[in-house]
Amino acid sequence: MRHLLRPIGRPAGQGGMARLTTFAKGLLLSAVYCAGYLVAWRLSLDQWFLPAGLRAAVLLFMPLRLWPYLLLGDAAALLALRVPLIDEGQSATWAYLSPLLLMPLSALVPLWFRRRVPDVMVWQQRLLPVVLGMALWGVLINKVLNWLLDGPVTDINVENALKFWVGNYLGILVFVLPALLWVRREGTALMSRGLMHDSLRAALMVGALFAAAMNVPDGVARQFLLVMMIVPGFWLTLGHEWRGAAVGIVMADIAVAMALAKSHQAGAFDLEMFYVQMLVSFAATTLFVLGTRIAGVMEQARRLGFAEQEALQVAQASYMSAERTLRNRVIEYTDIHVHINKLRRDIATTLKQHGHYAAAMEMNRTGVIQAQLLDDYVAALYPLDIETHGLYGALNSVAFANACDTEVEARLHGDSRRLSIGLQLAAYRCVLNAMEILPDAGRHTITARVWSARGKRGVVVTLEADAAMPGAGRKHHNADEMDWELASRLKAHDGTCRRRHERKISFLISEPLERTVTS
């Protein structure tokens, strides 16, 4: 009866088949890793040990659930390399046991790092110190296992340790940095189009330096040219931050390795190239740290830029909200004024019917005066002319001149209706602020020009008070308050201001071209 209790829609044996498939894929991964390890070993030298890089890359970036298969592949590769050495007199204990212990011990450092920093998106800030630690740890556990298991033992001194440390470190960089680029890729491509093009140029520069170095006799000149192969990496770093640094480091690393004497004899050592490798290692570490620092600064700048942009958008929305409120009030006042005029006309008609013509005429005269005062008040409160005739229509209106208590000479160029209502209103308010800042004058000249360039459009306005016509002594608001209000409005609308002298102010405001013209 147990088979009747299985979940409906789940065939018997499905779980076992899935586990078998997973196991088969794991064995395939082990085989691929083993083959890759053997190929990397064939291409390696003591001063440039690629298997350490392959091991470090998979331990850092492969899921933990796949580690058992990777351990199996690593052990198989080492057994294939070390068991034949028994015939050459090496210890069988070392040949059979060290392959089973090497990768589990090597995994301690990357496991600690992955547990401590689980977010791969911030690894570039801490990766190279960890890689340095992994390279040194690999040297130490190799030496200890060889000593404990009667394996090949070389002199344990600083020189040997440094040689293997640098070799492991450079070998790790060849695998870890491309893996980091892949994990942190943007989109489906390993690198952006711009980085790809710049990398090709950098590769040409590295190739030219390598060719020059190979045609120079051994000595300081050759070492200098080989070390200079890291310079294109600095150029990539300045343009593409840590990603450019990673590409430049890998290029220089491989190029320096190609300059090494191709000797697979145990203990082979090229002292002159070792000096070059140490300098390249130091430069690579410095370069990657520089790239991460630049990336951090750029990210902070982008965040601040986004925050500032959001603040400006909030300020613009606040200004537009205030304008809509004023517009609604103006419409309400206009409706009330229409009703008052209707009542006044009815009363005047009634007075005429009863023979009170003088009273009716006085009421009509009073109504005209009140209408003019209300029009001036409404124009100062919100310029409805902007919605029909644009900014230039509002600046040319009698209501604007009355609101500013001055004669206005307007020199207007372009079509202000190409600008959004919000920007036109901002320009209008800035003109009013500038009028308050300028000294009293009976006439003001307003010069304005609408422009568009580089994905933006806007208006440049210049106001000048005529010194030959003194003003009527209109009341000014606080000058500092007006300056602050003008500066705030200009900043919110991507503008700037310049006061050429006491009687002349120029300002500019702009907006993106894609912004809609209607509010």
Mapped onto helix, strand or coil, the DSSP state of residue 197 is helix
Q: Tokens 């894609």: give the residue.
A: 514
Domains of the chain (ranges, CATH numbers)? 20-183 (1.10.1760), 382-510 (3.30.565.10)
pTM for this prediction: 0.60
> How many other CB atoms are found less than 10 A from the CB of residue 305?
10
Dihedral sign from CA coordinates of 315, 321, 327, 329: negative
Which residue pairs from 306-313 have beta carbons closer than 8 angstroms and sit at least 24 positions apart in sequence?
312/491, 312/492, 312/494
Supply the angle between the helices 158-183 and 231-258 in degrees, to the nearest 10: 120
Between CA 351 and CA 357 the distance in angstroms is 7
| Radius of gyration for the alpha carbons in the chain, expressed in angstroms and rounded | 40
Between CA 57 and CA 32 the distance in angstroms is 14
| Tens-level pLDDT at each residue, the chain (519 residues) | 344 344 444 554 566 688 888 888 889 999 999 999 999 998 887 788 899 999 999 999 999 999 999 999 999 999 998 888 888 888 888 889 989 999 999 999 999 988 888 877 777 777 888 888 899 998 889 888 888 888 777 656 677 778 888 888 888 989 998 888 888 877 666 677 888 888 898 889 888 888 888 888 877 888 888 888 888 888 888 777 778 888 888 888 888 888 876 655 555 666 777 778 788 888 787 777 777 777 666 666 666 656 666 667 777 777 777 778 878 877 777 777 778 778 878 887 887 777 777 777 877 787 777 777 777 677 667 788 788 888 888 888 887 887 777 888 888 888 888 888 888 888 888 888 888 888 888 888 889 999 888 888 999 999 888 877 766 555 455 556 667 888 888 888 888 888 877 888 889 988 888 766 554
Quote the tokens at residue 10: 């789940």
Between CA 230 and CA 211 the distance in angstroms is 15
Dihedral sign from CA coordinates of 330, 334, 339, 345: positive
